[in-house]
Amino acid sequence: MKVDLKNYGLNEQIKIESSIYSGLFIARVTEQHRDLYKIVGENGEMNASVSGKLAYQAARQADFPSVGDWVMVDRSGSDFGNAIIHHILNRKSLLTRQAAGTANDQQVIAANVDILFICMSLNADFNLRRVERYLTIAWDSMTTPVIVLTKSDLCEALQCKLDEISSVSPGVDVVVCSSKDEYGFESINTYVKEGRTIAFVGSSGVGKSTIINRLLGQDVLKTRNIREHDDRGRHTTTHRQLILLPNGGIVIDTPGMRELQICSGNLSRTFEDVAEIASGCKYNDCSHTTEPGCMVRMAIQDGTLSEARLESYRKLQREMSYDVLS
Ligand code: GDP
Ligand code: ZN
């Protein structure tokens, strides 16, 4: 079966990069199960594992392929057994998180995601600090964030919440939707394009599966019925991790995606406003507490900066410096 890899996001840049590996074939990683990968090449799907050399040279977990990676393999189809992955092509973006129990090793969640839908429900899950965290993840990973506010049918003060959101996400697109009355799904669809890879983050229960199912046009992912204020449940269904959408576009939905936590920080982008104000402080190492000439304290006094935003900036800063997750 011939596969048009353009549907999977293959573009000129990747093709050119792949052309330097003569004798090898290009494929994209669609699933990862420990050491075994599922990949798709020009002649269909294959199982694959990494070459001894790649494994030997890998210094960190991030040196191994992950879902979304473009890889160079020794065959183009599965006729003669499992493929061997020899190289990983340059990643346009890389979503990672702190590997459990280790100090600094980062676990790769997905590669080459173009758009990160940051999902939050407009009722119980609504939390500006959470948005700030997810935005930081997006900037760090080099993906483009879009904030998706779900369950608008359960929200009363919508405008008020939108104002709050835009105060912490300057320059970021915000989409409001509800699966109850189909509201907003057209706007979501405008981000879905042929060859574009999108991924979803957000607490469990906010409606990610519901949106993905809507994009797929069928109930491929089981949506769980949970109580509205219980968002501690775990996502247990197993399913394809890289999915082609019927109208073009690709969704990556790995188990790790669902548990994505912050692990490193590009605070300056998420907190551009705070950083900008702080750049005016008299002292470079100003702690914004009691120093003279502190523009941050001044901004708080005259109301241009909220105490809560400064506090979340500090909190995130502390967490990052101690590698603490919450
Ligand atoms: P996920 O854990 O983020 O994938 O969330 P699901 O898509 O499984 O949705 C969790 C629950 O919220 C399910 O019971 C959905 O039916 C419900 N839900 C999803 N979207 C909406 C919405 O827009 N409005 C309302 N009222 N409920 C929704
Ligand atoms: Zn200051």
Q: Is the pTM for the entire model greater than 0.95?
A: no
* Chain segment 20-71, per-residue pLDDT in tens: 999 999 999 999 988 899 999 999 999 999 999 999 999 888 999 999 999 9
Distance 278 CA to ligand 2 centre (A): 6
Residue 235 has pLDDT above 70, yes or no: no
The sign of the torsion formed by the CA atoms of 220, 226, 229, 230 equals negative
* Chain segment 173-209, per-residue pLDDT in tens: 999 999 988 889 899 999 999 999 999 988 878 898 8
Question: Higher model confidence: residue 220 or residue 14?
Answer: 14
Which residues surround the ion ligand 2 when the cut-off is CB under 5 Å? 281, 286, 288, 294, 296
Whole-number pLDDT of residue 26: 97
Q: For ligand 1, atom 13, which residue shows the shortest CA distance?
A: 225
Distance 116 CA to ligand 2 centre (A): 33
Q: For ligand 1, atom 6, which residue shows the shortest CA distance?
A: 207
End-to-end Cα separation, the chain, in angstroms: 46
Q: What is the mean pLDDT of residues 95-106?
A: 66
- Residue by residue, what is the 3-state secondary structure of the chain? CCCCHHHHCCCHHHHHHHCCCCCCEEEEEEEEECCEEEEEECCEEEEEEECHHHHHHCCCHHHCCCCCCEEEECCCCCCCCCEEEEEECCCCCEEEEECCCCCCCEEEEEECCCEEEEEEECCCCCCHHHHHHHHHHHHHHCCEEEEEEECHHHCCCHHHHHHHHHHHCCCCEEEECCCCCCCCHHHHHCCCCCCCEEEEECCCCCCHHHHHHHHHCCCCCCCCCCCCCCCCCCCCCCCCCEEECCCCCEEECCHHHHCCCCCCCCHHHHCHHHHHHHCCCCCCCCCCCCCCCCHHHHHHHCCCCCHHHHHHHHHHHHHHHHCCCC
* Chain segment 102-122, per-residue pLDDT in tens: 556 677 889 999 999 999 999
Closest approach atom of ligand 1 to CA 223: 8
The answer to whether 200 touches 113, Cβ cutoff 8 Å, is no
Whole-number pLDDT of residue 234: 41
